[in-house]
């Protein structure tokens, strides 16, 4: 009788594990919901200021902004600029916090926006499908309206011109070369109200 009870419990646990694995697999292969990319607004008569910075100062500014605006949401994450843009965070998986690391290659576009192309991704020691993790990040992490996560394209689109700044100022990426620490932006201020 005891032997049967353990067999039923064993097979019950096996079925639960298979269901959990199947659920994760199905979620990984489902298409992701992408946010619509909104083009930036720019006027020719705006006053422009060029701002040059470095990775260290921009790191401090980004993480200060994330903390101030409460963009980390229920799951803590931080962004660091090294030779690539790296996002570090933790995810609760089966009651345990697992470390998440995403690396992106940045590209400044001619319109002043930024694209972060997915380079590598890991959860603990596992490598997961990029679209699954980006979809998870898109659904669980709080991001500003001007940040669009595109899981199917494996990229994040940052519409800097749509970022709300004081005095209706706008910002455009001019150069974003992290390897050479050459980062510059154009700050545009409307010349008329």
Is residue 155 packed enough to be buried (19+ CB in 10 Å), middle (13-18) or exposed (0-12)?
Answer: buried
Alpha-carbon distance of 73 to 18, in angstroms, equals 31
pLDDT digits (tens, 9 = 90+) for 112-135: 999 999 888 877 777 677 777 778
Is residue 11 over pLDDT 60? Answer: yes
50/19 same-domain check: no
Confidence of residue 106 (pLDDT cuts 50, 70, 90): very high
- Quick one: which of 81, 148, 135, 75 has its CA closest to 109? 148
24/82 same-domain check: no
Instruction: Identify which has the larger pLDDT, 14 or 114.
Output: 114
71/158 same-domain check: yes
Range 171-178 average pLDDT: 90
Count of the separate structural domains present in the chain: 2
Range 83-88 average pLDDT: 88
Is residue 39 over pLDDT 60? Answer: no
Alpha-carbon distance of 135 to 180, in angstroms, equals 31
Decide if 133 contacts 123 (C-beta within 8 A): yes
10/102 same-domain check: no
92/7 same-domain check: no
Question: What local confidence, expressed as pLDDT, does residue 84 receive?
Answer: 92
19/84 same-domain check: no
Residue whose tokens read 């959860």: 123
Decide if 169 contacts 193 (C-beta within 8 A): no
77: domain range? 31-35+43-189
Is residue 105 over pLDDT 90? Answer: yes
Alpha-carbon distance of 56 to 182, in angstroms, equals 12
Question: What local confidence, expressed as pLDDT, does residue 175 receive?
Answer: 92
Decide if 143 contacts 34 (C-beta within 8 A): no
Q: Which two tokens stand for residue 4?
A: 């049967």
Per the prediction, the chain carries an average pLDDT of: 77
145/87 same-domain check: yes
Confidence of residue 154 (pLDDT cuts 50, 70, 90): confident
Instruction: Identify which has the larger pLDDT, 98 or 147.
Output: 147
Question: Which residues have C-beta within 8 Å of that of residue 187, sequence separation ≥ 6?
Answer: 48, 49, 50, 51, 169, 170, 171
23/47 same-domain check: no
The reply to whether the predicted model has a pTM over 0.85 is: no
């Amino acid at each position: 009788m005891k032997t049967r009870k353990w067999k039923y419990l064993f097979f019950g646990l096996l079925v639960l594990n298979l269901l959990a694995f199947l659920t994760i697999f199905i979620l990984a292969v489902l298409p992701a919901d992408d946010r619509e990319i909104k083009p930036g607004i720019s006027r020719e008569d705006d006053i422009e200021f060029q701002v040059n910075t470095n990775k260290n100062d921009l790191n401090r500014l980004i993480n200060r902004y994330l903390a101030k605006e409460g963009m980390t949401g229920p799951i803590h994450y931080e962004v660091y600029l090294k030779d690539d843009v790296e996002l570090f965070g933790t995810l609760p998986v089966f009651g345990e916090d697992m470390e998440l690391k995403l690396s992106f290659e940045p590209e400044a576009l001619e319109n002043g926006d930024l694209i972060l192309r997915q380079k590598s991704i890991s959860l603990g020691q596992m490598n997961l499908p990029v679209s699954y993790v980006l979809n998870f990040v898109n659904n669980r992490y709080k991001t500003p309206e001007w940040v669009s996560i595109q899981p199917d394209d494996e990229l994040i689109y940052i519409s800097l011109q749509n970022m709300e700044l004081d005095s209706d100022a706008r910002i455009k990426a001019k150069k974003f070369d992290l390897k050479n620490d050459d980062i510059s932006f154009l700050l545009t201020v409307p010349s008329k109200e």
